[in-house]
Structure 1
Amino acid sequence: MKHLRIGVLAFALFWGSTLFAQNPVKIGYFDYAYVISQLPEAKAADADLKAYTEKLQKDLQAKEAELRAKYERYVKEGEKMAAPTREALAKEIETGQQQLQEFQQKAESDIMQKQNKLLAPINEKLEKTLKEVAKENGFTYVIRKEALLFEPEDTSLDVSGLVLKKLGITPAPANQQNNSIKPTNNNTNPNPNIKPNTNTKPR
Protein backbone atom coordinates (compact mmCIF):
# COMPACT_ATOMS: atom_id res chain seq x y z
CA MET A 1 0.00 0.00 0.00
CA LYS A 2 2.85 2.37 0.89
CA HIS A 3 4.53 1.75 -2.47
CA LEU A 4 1.21 2.35 -4.22
CA ARG A 5 0.77 5.73 -2.52
CA ILE A 6 4.31 6.79 -3.44
CA GLY A 7 3.69 5.73 -7.01
CA VAL A 8 0.43 7.69 -7.21
CA LEU A 9 2.11 10.78 -5.73
CA ALA A 10 5.00 10.56 -8.18
CA PHE A 11 2.55 10.22 -11.07
CA ALA A 12 0.57 13.23 -9.86
CA LEU A 13 3.70 15.37 -9.57
CA PHE A 14 4.87 14.29 -13.01
CA TRP A 15 1.48 14.92 -14.60
CA GLY A 16 1.11 18.30 -12.87
CA SER A 17 4.53 19.52 -14.00
CA THR A 18 3.88 18.29 -17.53
CA LEU A 19 0.51 20.05 -17.64
CA PHE A 20 2.05 23.29 -16.36
CA ALA A 21 4.79 23.09 -18.98
CA GLN A 22 2.19 22.62 -21.70
CA ASN A 23 0.05 25.48 -20.38
CA PRO A 24 2.40 28.14 -18.98
CA VAL A 25 0.81 30.92 -16.98
CA LYS A 26 1.21 34.32 -18.61
CA ILE A 27 0.37 37.30 -16.42
CA GLY A 28 -0.03 40.79 -17.84
CA TYR A 29 -0.88 44.12 -16.31
CA PHE A 30 -3.12 47.01 -17.29
CA ASP A 31 -2.72 50.74 -16.58
CA TYR A 32 -6.33 51.81 -16.06
CA ALA A 33 -5.58 55.48 -15.36
CA TYR A 34 -3.49 55.79 -18.52
CA VAL A 35 -5.98 54.01 -20.78
CA ILE A 36 -9.05 55.89 -19.56
CA SER A 37 -7.23 59.20 -19.99
CA GLN A 38 -6.95 58.44 -23.72
CA LEU A 39 -10.62 57.62 -24.32
CA PRO A 40 -12.76 60.34 -25.97
CA GLU A 41 -15.84 59.20 -24.05
CA ALA A 42 -13.93 59.51 -20.78
CA LYS A 43 -12.97 63.08 -21.65
CA ALA A 44 -16.63 63.85 -22.45
CA ALA A 45 -17.69 62.27 -19.16
CA ASP A 46 -15.09 64.35 -17.36
CA ALA A 47 -16.53 67.56 -18.85
CA ASP A 48 -20.05 66.44 -17.92
CA LEU A 49 -19.03 65.74 -14.34
CA LYS A 50 -17.19 69.05 -14.09
CA ALA A 51 -20.26 71.00 -15.24
CA TYR A 52 -22.48 69.08 -12.83
CA THR A 53 -20.08 69.74 -9.95
CA GLU A 54 -19.80 73.43 -10.76
CA LYS A 55 -23.60 73.79 -10.69
CA LEU A 56 -23.78 72.20 -7.25
CA GLN A 57 -20.93 74.44 -6.12
CA LYS A 58 -22.83 77.55 -7.25
CA ASP A 59 -25.98 76.35 -5.49
CA LEU A 60 -23.96 75.80 -2.32
CA GLN A 61 -22.40 79.26 -2.55
CA ALA A 62 -25.83 80.84 -3.01
CA LYS A 63 -27.16 79.10 0.08
CA GLU A 64 -24.06 80.09 2.01
CA ALA A 65 -24.43 83.75 0.95
CA GLU A 66 -28.05 83.75 2.06
CA LEU A 67 -27.10 82.32 5.44
CA ARG A 68 -24.24 84.80 5.85
CA ALA A 69 -26.59 87.71 5.11
CA LYS A 70 -28.93 86.55 7.88
CA TYR A 71 -26.04 86.25 10.28
CA GLU A 72 -24.72 89.72 9.45
CA ARG A 73 -28.20 91.12 9.97
CA TYR A 74 -28.36 89.35 13.32
CA VAL A 75 -25.00 90.81 14.40
CA LYS A 76 -25.83 94.32 13.18
CA GLU A 77 -29.48 94.63 14.22
CA GLY A 78 -29.96 91.89 16.80
CA GLU A 79 -29.78 94.12 19.84
CA LYS A 80 -32.43 96.45 18.40
CA MET A 81 -34.84 93.63 17.54
CA ALA A 82 -37.73 92.56 19.68
CA ALA A 83 -36.88 89.35 21.52
CA PRO A 84 -39.28 87.14 19.49
CA THR A 85 -37.88 88.50 16.20
CA ARG A 86 -34.28 88.02 17.33
CA GLU A 87 -34.97 84.47 18.52
CA ALA A 88 -36.74 83.62 15.27
CA LEU A 89 -33.78 84.89 13.23
CA ALA A 90 -31.33 82.96 15.40
CA LYS A 91 -33.41 79.84 14.82
CA GLU A 92 -33.37 80.47 11.06
CA ILE A 93 -29.58 80.73 11.12
CA GLU A 94 -29.23 77.53 13.13
CA THR A 95 -31.60 75.68 10.80
CA GLY A 96 -29.81 77.14 7.78
CA GLN A 97 -26.47 75.82 8.98
CA GLN A 98 -27.89 72.33 9.35
CA GLN A 99 -29.50 72.50 5.91
CA LEU A 100 -26.22 73.73 4.42
CA GLN A 101 -24.33 70.76 5.85
CA GLU A 102 -27.03 68.37 4.61
CA PHE A 103 -26.85 69.94 1.16
CA GLN A 104 -23.08 69.45 1.13
CA GLN A 105 -23.38 65.79 2.09
CA LYS A 106 -26.05 65.17 -0.54
CA ALA A 107 -23.99 67.02 -3.16
CA GLU A 108 -20.97 64.81 -2.48
CA SER A 109 -23.16 61.71 -2.73
CA ASP A 110 -24.80 62.94 -5.94
CA ILE A 111 -21.43 63.70 -7.52
CA MET A 112 -20.16 60.22 -6.69
CA GLN A 113 -23.31 58.61 -8.11
CA LYS A 114 -23.02 60.75 -11.24
CA GLN A 115 -19.38 59.72 -11.65
CA ASN A 116 -20.18 56.03 -11.23
CA LYS A 117 -23.02 56.33 -13.76
CA LEU A 118 -20.72 58.01 -16.29
CA LEU A 119 -17.95 55.46 -15.77
CA ALA A 120 -20.15 52.34 -15.88
CA PRO A 121 -20.45 52.01 -19.70
CA ILE A 122 -16.79 52.97 -20.15
CA ASN A 123 -15.64 50.33 -17.67
CA GLU A 124 -17.91 47.75 -19.30
CA LYS A 125 -16.38 48.51 -22.69
CA LEU A 126 -12.85 48.32 -21.27
CA GLU A 127 -13.52 45.01 -19.53
CA LYS A 128 -14.86 43.45 -22.73
CA THR A 129 -11.90 44.70 -24.76
CA LEU A 130 -9.42 43.62 -22.10
CA LYS A 131 -10.78 40.07 -22.12
CA GLU A 132 -10.48 39.93 -25.91
CA VAL A 133 -6.90 41.23 -25.83
CA ALA A 134 -5.93 38.77 -23.10
CA LYS A 135 -7.38 35.84 -25.04
CA GLU A 136 -5.82 36.89 -28.36
CA ASN A 137 -2.36 37.33 -26.80
CA GLY A 138 -2.32 34.29 -24.54
CA PHE A 139 -2.55 36.01 -21.17
CA THR A 140 -3.84 33.78 -18.39
CA TYR A 141 -4.38 36.69 -16.02
CA VAL A 142 -4.30 40.48 -16.30
CA ILE A 143 -4.06 42.62 -13.18
CA ARG A 144 -4.25 46.37 -12.66
CA LYS A 145 -0.91 48.17 -12.60
CA GLU A 146 -1.56 49.76 -9.20
CA ALA A 147 -1.80 46.28 -7.68
CA LEU A 148 1.82 45.52 -8.62
CA LEU A 149 4.49 45.72 -5.93
CA PHE A 150 6.94 46.82 -8.63
CA GLU A 151 6.71 47.40 -12.36
CA PRO A 152 8.19 44.54 -14.43
CA GLU A 153 11.12 45.32 -16.70
CA ASP A 154 9.41 43.37 -19.48
CA THR A 155 7.08 46.02 -20.90
CA SER A 156 5.57 43.46 -23.26
CA LEU A 157 3.48 42.36 -20.29
CA ASP A 158 1.73 45.76 -20.30
CA VAL A 159 -1.44 45.27 -22.34
CA SER A 160 -2.54 48.92 -22.09
CA GLY A 161 -1.33 49.77 -25.58
CA LEU A 162 -2.95 46.65 -27.03
CA VAL A 163 -6.28 47.62 -25.50
CA LEU A 164 -6.08 51.12 -26.97
CA LYS A 165 -5.14 49.79 -30.40
CA LYS A 166 -8.07 47.40 -30.35
CA LEU A 167 -10.30 50.36 -29.53
CA GLY A 168 -8.85 52.20 -32.54
CA ILE A 169 -6.95 54.74 -30.46
CA THR A 170 -3.31 55.63 -31.08
CA PRO A 171 -1.59 55.35 -27.69
CA ALA A 172 -0.01 58.50 -26.30
CA PRO A 173 3.00 58.42 -23.95
CA ALA A 174 2.06 57.73 -20.34
CA ASN A 175 3.41 61.14 -19.28
CA GLN A 176 0.83 62.86 -21.51
CA GLN A 177 -2.20 61.64 -19.61
CA ASN A 178 -5.24 63.87 -19.26
CA ASN A 179 -6.96 64.37 -15.94
CA SER A 180 -9.99 62.28 -16.84
CA ILE A 181 -12.35 61.13 -14.15
CA LYS A 182 -11.28 58.17 -12.08
CA PRO A 183 -13.38 55.98 -9.83
CA THR A 184 -13.42 56.82 -6.15
CA ASN A 185 -14.26 54.77 -3.11
CA ASN A 186 -17.07 55.58 -0.73
CA ASN A 187 -14.73 57.37 1.67
CA THR A 188 -13.44 59.84 -0.86
CA ASN A 189 -14.99 63.18 -1.68
CA PRO A 190 -14.89 63.34 -5.51
CA ASN A 191 -14.94 67.12 -5.32
CA PRO A 192 -13.16 68.53 -2.27
CA ASN A 193 -14.36 72.04 -3.16
CA ILE A 194 -17.90 71.22 -2.07
CA LYS A 195 -17.38 72.59 1.41
CA PRO A 196 -19.70 75.01 3.22
CA ASN A 197 -18.49 77.65 5.62
CA THR A 198 -20.37 76.79 8.79
CA ASN A 199 -18.84 79.41 11.06
CA THR A 200 -21.92 81.65 11.03
CA LYS A 201 -23.41 81.09 14.46
CA PRO A 202 -25.50 83.67 16.34
CA ARG A 203 -24.02 84.65 19.65
Structure 2
Amino acid sequence: MKGIGISTLAGVLLAVFAQTAAAEVKVGFVNSDRIMKEAVPAKKAQQKLEKEFEKRDQDLQRMAKQLQGMQEGLEKNGVTMAEGEHRAKEREFNDLNRDFQRKQREFREDLNQRRNEELAGVLERANKTIKAIAEAEKFDIIFQEAVYASPRIDITDKVIKALTETK
Protein backbone atom coordinates (compact mmCIF):
# COMPACT_ATOMS: atom_id res chain seq x y z
CA MET A 1 0.00 0.00 0.00
CA LYS A 2 3.03 2.28 0.05
CA GLY A 3 2.66 5.24 -2.26
CA ILE A 4 -1.13 5.33 -2.20
CA GLY A 5 -2.53 8.64 -1.02
CA ILE A 6 -5.19 8.96 1.65
CA SER A 7 -7.79 10.14 -0.86
CA THR A 8 -7.11 7.13 -3.11
CA LEU A 9 -7.31 4.78 -0.14
CA ALA A 10 -10.53 6.42 1.01
CA GLY A 11 -11.96 5.99 -2.50
CA VAL A 12 -11.03 2.30 -2.56
CA LEU A 13 -12.56 1.75 0.87
CA LEU A 14 -15.68 3.67 -0.11
CA ALA A 15 -16.05 1.50 -3.21
CA VAL A 16 -15.60 -1.71 -1.21
CA PHE A 17 -18.08 -0.60 1.43
CA ALA A 18 -20.57 0.67 -1.17
CA GLN A 19 -20.54 -2.65 -3.02
CA THR A 20 -21.10 -4.59 0.15
CA ALA A 21 -23.43 -2.20 1.94
CA ALA A 22 -25.93 -4.95 2.68
CA ALA A 23 -23.28 -7.54 3.53
CA GLU A 24 -20.71 -7.39 6.28
CA VAL A 25 -17.19 -6.42 5.18
CA LYS A 26 -14.37 -8.59 6.50
CA VAL A 27 -11.15 -6.62 6.92
CA GLY A 28 -7.75 -7.96 7.96
CA PHE A 29 -4.34 -6.56 8.72
CA VAL A 30 -0.86 -8.06 8.40
CA ASN A 31 2.27 -6.60 9.99
CA SER A 32 4.90 -7.11 7.26
CA ASP A 33 7.77 -6.10 9.55
CA ARG A 34 6.89 -8.87 12.02
CA ILE A 35 6.68 -11.40 9.21
CA MET A 36 10.13 -10.40 7.95
CA LYS A 37 11.56 -10.74 11.46
CA GLU A 38 9.66 -13.70 12.92
CA ALA A 39 8.67 -16.04 10.09
CA VAL A 40 10.84 -19.14 9.69
CA PRO A 41 11.62 -18.47 5.99
CA ALA A 42 12.80 -14.94 6.87
CA LYS A 43 14.99 -16.25 9.70
CA LYS A 44 16.47 -18.90 7.39
CA ALA A 45 17.18 -16.26 4.75
CA GLN A 46 18.99 -14.15 7.37
CA GLN A 47 21.04 -17.14 8.55
CA LYS A 48 21.92 -17.99 4.94
CA LEU A 49 23.15 -14.44 4.36
CA GLU A 50 25.19 -14.43 7.57
CA LYS A 51 26.88 -17.68 6.59
CA GLU A 52 27.46 -16.51 3.01
CA PHE A 53 29.11 -13.23 4.08
CA GLU A 54 30.83 -14.40 7.27
CA LYS A 55 34.32 -14.88 5.77
CA ARG A 56 34.32 -11.49 4.01
CA ASP A 57 33.12 -9.79 7.21
CA GLN A 58 35.94 -11.41 9.20
CA ASP A 59 38.48 -10.34 6.55
CA LEU A 60 37.23 -6.75 6.81
CA GLN A 61 37.48 -6.86 10.59
CA ARG A 62 41.08 -8.10 10.33
CA MET A 63 41.92 -5.30 7.88
CA ALA A 64 40.35 -2.73 10.22
CA LYS A 65 42.50 -3.99 13.11
CA GLN A 66 45.58 -3.92 10.90
CA LEU A 67 44.83 -0.33 9.89
CA GLN A 68 44.29 0.66 13.49
CA GLY A 69 47.61 -0.89 14.45
CA MET A 70 49.39 0.88 11.59
CA GLN A 71 47.84 4.22 12.57
CA GLU A 72 48.83 3.77 16.22
CA GLY A 73 52.37 2.85 15.12
CA LEU A 74 52.60 5.96 12.97
CA GLU A 75 51.34 8.17 15.79
CA LYS A 76 53.62 6.55 18.36
CA ASN A 77 56.80 6.23 16.30
CA GLY A 78 56.26 8.90 13.65
CA VAL A 79 58.40 11.48 15.42
CA THR A 80 61.40 9.17 15.76
CA MET A 81 61.22 7.70 12.22
CA ALA A 82 63.37 8.93 9.39
CA GLU A 83 61.40 11.14 7.00
CA GLY A 84 61.61 8.63 4.12
CA GLU A 85 60.52 5.75 6.33
CA HIS A 86 57.64 7.85 7.73
CA ARG A 87 56.46 8.74 4.21
CA ALA A 88 56.68 5.09 3.14
CA LYS A 89 54.64 3.97 6.17
CA GLU A 90 52.02 6.67 5.50
CA ARG A 91 51.81 5.61 1.86
CA GLU A 92 51.41 1.96 2.90
CA PHE A 93 48.70 2.99 5.39
CA ASN A 94 46.86 5.09 2.77
CA ASP A 95 47.02 2.28 0.18
CA LEU A 96 45.66 -0.24 2.66
CA ASN A 97 42.99 2.21 3.82
CA ARG A 98 41.84 2.77 0.20
CA ASP A 99 41.72 -0.99 -0.35
CA PHE A 100 39.77 -1.40 2.88
CA GLN A 101 37.25 1.32 1.92
CA ARG A 102 36.74 -0.29 -1.51
CA LYS A 103 36.27 -3.78 -0.06
CA GLN A 104 33.91 -2.43 2.59
CA ARG A 105 31.79 -0.65 -0.05
CA GLU A 106 31.70 -3.77 -2.25
CA PHE A 107 30.75 -5.87 0.78
CA ARG A 108 27.81 -3.56 1.63
CA GLU A 109 26.63 -3.47 -1.99
CA ASP A 110 26.84 -7.27 -2.37
CA LEU A 111 25.15 -7.85 0.98
CA ASN A 112 22.32 -5.44 0.16
CA GLN A 113 21.78 -7.04 -3.24
CA ARG A 114 21.68 -10.56 -1.79
CA ARG A 115 19.43 -9.42 1.10
CA ASN A 116 17.00 -7.91 -1.40
CA GLU A 117 17.02 -11.15 -3.42
CA GLU A 118 16.41 -13.33 -0.37
CA LEU A 119 13.73 -11.07 1.11
CA ALA A 120 11.94 -10.82 -2.24
CA GLY A 121 11.49 -14.59 -2.13
CA VAL A 122 10.20 -14.46 1.44
CA LEU A 123 7.84 -11.60 0.55
CA GLU A 124 6.50 -13.51 -2.45
CA ARG A 125 5.77 -16.55 -0.27
CA ALA A 126 4.20 -14.35 2.40
CA ASN A 127 1.93 -12.63 -0.13
CA LYS A 128 0.80 -16.01 -1.54
CA THR A 129 0.09 -17.17 2.02
CA ILE A 130 -1.84 -13.99 2.82
CA LYS A 131 -3.90 -14.41 -0.35
CA ALA A 132 -4.64 -18.06 0.48
CA ILE A 133 -5.79 -17.11 4.00
CA ALA A 134 -7.87 -14.25 2.59
CA GLU A 135 -9.60 -16.55 0.12
CA ALA A 136 -10.10 -19.39 2.61
CA GLU A 137 -11.52 -17.10 5.30
CA LYS A 138 -13.40 -14.84 2.87
CA PHE A 139 -11.68 -11.55 3.65
CA ASP A 140 -12.78 -8.60 1.51
CA ILE A 141 -9.52 -6.71 2.01
CA ILE A 142 -6.26 -7.17 3.91
CA PHE A 143 -3.99 -4.22 4.65
CA GLN A 144 -0.23 -4.50 5.08
CA GLU A 145 0.35 -0.89 6.14
CA ALA A 146 -1.71 1.05 8.65
CA VAL A 147 -1.28 3.74 11.25
CA TYR A 148 -3.39 1.67 13.58
CA ALA A 149 -4.99 -1.76 13.35
CA SER A 150 -7.08 -3.40 16.02
CA PRO A 151 -5.67 -6.70 17.28
CA ARG A 152 -9.11 -8.10 16.40
CA ILE A 153 -8.34 -7.87 12.66
CA ASP A 154 -4.58 -8.64 12.87
CA ILE A 155 -3.89 -11.96 11.12
CA THR A 156 -0.09 -11.71 11.30
CA ASP A 157 0.20 -14.69 13.66
CA LYS A 158 -1.83 -16.84 11.23
CA VAL A 159 0.45 -15.86 8.36
CA ILE A 160 3.62 -16.57 10.37
CA LYS A 161 2.22 -19.96 11.43
CA ALA A 162 1.20 -20.82 7.86
CA LEU A 163 4.65 -19.85 6.55
CA THR A 164 6.25 -22.07 9.18
CA GLU A 165 4.05 -25.03 8.22
CA THR A 166 4.69 -24.65 4.47
CA LYS A 167 8.49 -24.63 4.67
Secondary structure of 2:80 counterpart: helix
Normalising by structure 1, report the TM-score: 0.58
Normalising by structure 2, report the TM-score: 0.68
Match of 1:149 in 2: 147
Q: Determine which structure has more spread, i.e. the larger CA radius of gyration.
A: 1
Tell me by how many angstroms 1:22 deviates. Answer: 5.0
The CA distance in 1 between the partners of 2:158 and 2:78, in whole Å, is 69
Higher relative contact order (CA 8 A, sep 6+): 2
In structure 2, the gaps of 5 or more residues are 1-16
RMSD of aligned residue pairs (Cα, Å): 3.0
Structure 1 pair 70–122 and aligned structure 2 pair: CA distance change class (3 A):
same
Secondary structure of 1:79 counterpart: coil
Alignment of structure 1 residues 43-192 onto 2, 5 Å: 43-74=43-74, 75-76=76-77, 79-81=80-82, 83-144=83-144, 147-152=145-150, 155=152, 157-164=153-160, 166-167=162-163, 169=165
The CA distance in 2 between the partners of 1:68 and 1:167, in whole Å, is 45
The CA distance in 1 between the partners of 2:123 and 2:133, in whole Å, is 15
The CA distance in 2 between the partners of 1:40 and 1:138, in whole Å, is 26
The CA distance in 2 between the partners of 1:35 and 1:90, in whole Å, is 49
- Point out the more displaced range, 53-62 or 34-43: 34-43
Aligned length: 148
Structure 1 pair 79–28 and aligned structure 2 pair: CA distance change class (3 A):
same
Matching residue's letter, 2:77: K
Identity of matched residues, % = 23
Post-superposition CA distance 1:88-128 (Å, at most 9, x none): 22122123223323333332222222222222222111111
Tell me by how many angstroms 1:30 deviates. Answer: 0.6
Matching residue's letter, 1:159: I
More helix by share: 2
